[in-house]
């Protein structure tokens, strides 16, 4: 009897041990699944944010206010989130005195955080034609096949970065020779879209420019 009782106790303890082990294993699996679900939700949420995030480049001074305001209004109406980037330490100042506080410095820009980049024109953007940081940035966007848009004098940045070689593009009429010097086929149209690049001539084309950006990102 004593041996039988001992054997039963042993069996019961083994069953209890197996039960708790199984329960612990199921708990582990549940926690693991929960972690995966949280990670997937985070990735999905971040992907949605990136899909709606646009990096907008402004010159620190003398950017074209009309282009900026029209593009900003239309894209925000379409629920895109704009992040202003500049090398201005405090405020960007437009050609008519409009002041805009940038969200990001040129030194902290990463293509992976945005779905598109938009470069606003104006006389001030000409000082950025040879900016290597911008050249590297637009090339990163291009390698990721993300949308790149530039208006007025800003398309020259794209041509200097080598993105418009043998491609059709437009820009501010006075800068036409700058594009042609870089091997670009200039076309006299308000807005030109080719592959993943949009270029526009001037402030008068701002509405069509912004609408084209919104359409291509939908």
Q: Where are the domains of the chain?
A: 1-51, 53-217
- pLDDT of residue 42 exceeding 60, the answer is no
Tell me how far CA of residue 124 lies from CA of 23, 120, 209, in angstroms: 67, 10, 20
Share of the chain above pLDDT 90, in %: 72
- pLDDT of residue 218 exceeding 80, the answer is yes
**What is the per-residue pLDDT for 73?**
98
For CA atoms 13, 16, 22, 27, give the dihedral sign: negative
pTM value?
Answer: 0.78
Q: How confident is the model at residue 74 (pLDDT cuts 50, 70, 90)?
A: very high
Buried b (16+ CB within 10 A) or exposed e, 38-66: eeeeeeeeeeeeeebbbbbbbbbbbbbbb
**What is the per-residue pLDDT for 50?**
47
Q: Is 14 left (phi over 0), alpha (psi -120 to 50) or beta?
A: alpha
**What is the per-residue pLDDT for 31?**
55
- pLDDT of residue 35 exceeding 70, the answer is no
Residues 8 and 161: their CA atoms lie apart, in Å, by: 81
Do the beta carbons of residue 191 and residue 207 sit within 8 Å? no
- pLDDT of residue 76 exceeding 50, the answer is yes
Question: Between 86 and 14, where is the model more confident?
Answer: 86
Q: In terms of DSSP H, where are the helices of 52-167?
A: 65-77, 132-143, 155-160
Specify the CATH architecture of the domain 53-217. Answer: 3-Layer(aba) Sandwich (3.40)
């Amino acid at each position: 009897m004593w041996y039988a009782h001992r054997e039963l106790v042993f069996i019961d303890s083994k069953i209890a041990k197996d039960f708790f082990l199984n329960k612990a294993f199921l708990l582990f699996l549940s926690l693991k699944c929960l972690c995966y679900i949280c990670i997937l939700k985070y990735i999905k949420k971040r992907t949605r944010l990136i899909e709606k995030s646009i990096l907008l480049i402004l010159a620190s001074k003398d950017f074209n206010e009309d282009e900026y305001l029209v593009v900003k209004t239309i894209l925000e109406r379409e629920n895109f989130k704009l992040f202003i980037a500049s090398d201005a330490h405090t405020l960007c100042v437009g050609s008519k005195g409009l002041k805009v506080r940038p969200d990001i410095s040129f030194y902290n820009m990463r293509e992976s955080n945005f779905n598109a980049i938009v470069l606003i024109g104006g006389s001030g953007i000409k000082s950025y034609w040879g900016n290597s940081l911008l050249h590297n940035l637009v090339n990163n966007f291009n390698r990721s096949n993300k949308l790149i848009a530039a208006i007025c004098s800003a398309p020259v940045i794209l041509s200097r970065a080598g993105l418009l070689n043998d491609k059709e593009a437009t820009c501010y009429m006075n800068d036409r020779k700058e594009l042609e010097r870089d091997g670009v086929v200039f076309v006299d149209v308000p807005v030109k879209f080719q592959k993943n690049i949009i270029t526009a001539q001037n402030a008068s084309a701002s509405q069509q420019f912004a609408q084209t950006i919104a359409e291509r990102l939908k």
